[in-house]
Amino acid sequence: MDFDLMVEVTPLLIRAAWVTIDISSRAIFFGFFVACGLVFLQTLRFAPIRWFARGYVSIVRGTPYFVQLLLVFYGGPSIGLRLDPVTCGVVVGAFNIGAYMSEAIRGSIESVDNGQTEAARSLGFGRAQTMFYIVLPQAASLMIRSVGVLAIVLIKNSSLVSIISVVELTYQAQRLIGSTYKPLEIFTLSALMYIVIIYAVMGIIELAYRRATRYTTQ
């Protein structure tokens, strides 16, 4: 292994790792709102809107992220949707994770014991109040882990946006290999950086989960 080279390229890779973190965190942030929107649409009375939301979720879950990315980036311009690579990475990421997250949110809301709702209703709370004071706070702590897993998948998938030439960690690594011909060293370094990012995120998720559920620890 060429350690001198590894030391030399590390700053460049770290800078690219920030792009990975930036794209992913923005996708997760906006994805959360997409997810809440999808959950909300599925509670509406008007059936076609519910079908639309369900259909959207099914399509996203039934197609590879890679294809979604290519479709929007290369197919988008022919219907007037022209996005620069970074924006495209964020938008596709957000709409992708949003679909999965909406399922996680719905699942956690449904897994709050119905007795909770009945107790609140029996005290005189309305539907919205019951959702707001009783169900959502409990669902929120339940969904931390499942949403966290999705966030990690998204960070790993963000390497795919290299295909539309976003200079994130994987793209930068490939570029450096093009000029140095040292794939082992450079991919090892970039793999290490993914590990650091992902385990940091896992740690945050675990802390948040423990904090949110501290009331259940006996």
Partner 1 sequence: MSTEQQTATPMVEVRNVHKRFGNLEVLKGINLTVDRGKIISIIGPSGSGKSTLLRSVNNLEVIDDGVILLDGVQVNRPDMKGMAFERHINHIRQNMGMVFQHFNLFPHMSTIDNVTLAPRKLKGMDKKAARELGMEQLERVGLAEKADVFPNWLSGGQKQRVAIARALAMKPKVMLFDEATSALDPELVEEVNQVMRSLADEHMTMLIVTHEMSFARDVSDWALFMDGGVVVEESAPDKLFSNPDQERTRNFLQKHLENNK
- Contact residues toward partner 1 (CB under 8 A) are 113, 115-116, 118-127, 129, 133-134, 137-138, 141, 215-218
- CA distances from residue 63 to 5, 70, 90, 94, 171 in whole angstroms, order as listed: 39, 12, 18, 15, 23
State which amino acid sits at residue 199. Y
- Residue 108 CB, shortest distance to partner 1, in Å, is 13
Judged by beta carbon, residue 44 or residue 119, the one nearer partner 1 is 119
User: If DSSP codes are grouped into helix, strand and coil, which group holds residue 84?
Assistant: coil
* Locus of tokens 């906006």: 30
Residue 102, number of CB atoms within 10 A of its CB: 26
Judged by beta carbon, residue 51 or residue 132, the one nearer partner 1 is 132
With 0-12 / 13-18 / 19 or more C-beta atoms within 10 angstroms meaning exposed / middle / buried, residue 10 is middle
- Residue 114 CB, shortest distance to partner 1, in Å, is 9
Cβ density class 176-207: b for 16+ within 10 Å, e for less: bbeeeebeebbeebbeebbeebeeebeeebee
- Residue 135 CB, shortest distance to partner 1, in Å, is 10
Judged by beta carbon, residue 133 or residue 199, the one nearer partner 1 is 133
- Residue 143 CB, shortest distance to partner 1, in Å, is 14
Judged by beta carbon, residue 78 or residue 122, the one nearer partner 1 is 122
Judged by beta carbon, residue 179 or residue 216, the one nearer partner 1 is 216
- Residue 119 CB, shortest distance to partner 1, in Å, is 4
